[in-house]
Amino acid sequence: MRLYFSFPLNIMPRHIALIILWSFLLAVAGCGAMSTKDSRPIAEDPVCVYNGDLGCSRVRVDERTPRALYKGKPYYFCTEECRDAFMKDPAKYVGKSSGD
Ligand SMILES: [Zn+2]
């Protein structure tokens, strides 16, 4: 596993290694199964970007990806929950990153 290769566990305190491992697991578990071999296009989940949830902010786009149209632009989300949050107050999430 590449994680162990780049962070040898024997040269850092064990609790720091555990924290790194735990955040890694949380990021993976929070987004469902995301394969690195996937060739589908990647979009940014505006809800996760807004929340600073960077482990989930990049979503693979396919026909099953939760999406929403706002002001004629499609937005994609990691989960239905993120889409629901977006639909309640889209301006809150797109206002931060869009230039107009
Ligand atoms: Zn999300």
Each residue of 21-48: pLDDT tens digit?
787 766 665 555 555 677 889 999 999 9
Q: Is the pLDDT of residue 93 over 90?
A: yes
Residue 96 Cα to ligand 1 middle (Å): 16
- Whether residues 88 and 51 share a domain: the answer is yes
Q: Which helix (H) or strand (E) element contains residue 60?
A: strand 58-60
Residue from 57, 59, 58, 44 nearest 98 by CA? 44
Q: Are residues 47 and 20 in the same domain?
A: no
pTM (2 d.p.): 0.59
User: From ligand 1's centre to the CA of 51, what distance in Å?
Assistant: 9
* Structural domain range at position 39: 35-95
Residues 9 and 49 in one domain: no
Residue 32 CB partners (closer than 8 Å, separation 6+) = 78, 79
Query: How many whole angstroms from 75 Cα to the centroid of ligand 1?
Result: 11
Using alpha carbons, list the distances in angstroms from residue 85 to 13, 38, 42, 88: 39, 27, 20, 5
DSSP annotation of 35? -
Residues 16, 2, single domain; the answer is yes
State in Å: Cα 41 to ligand 1 middle. Answer: 16
How confident is the model over 41-81, as pLDDT tens digits?
999 999 999 999 888 899 999 999 999 999 999 999 999 99
In the reported structure, the alpha carbon of residue 48 is separated from the centroid of ligand 1 by a whole-number distance in angstroms of 4
pLDDT(99) > 60 = no
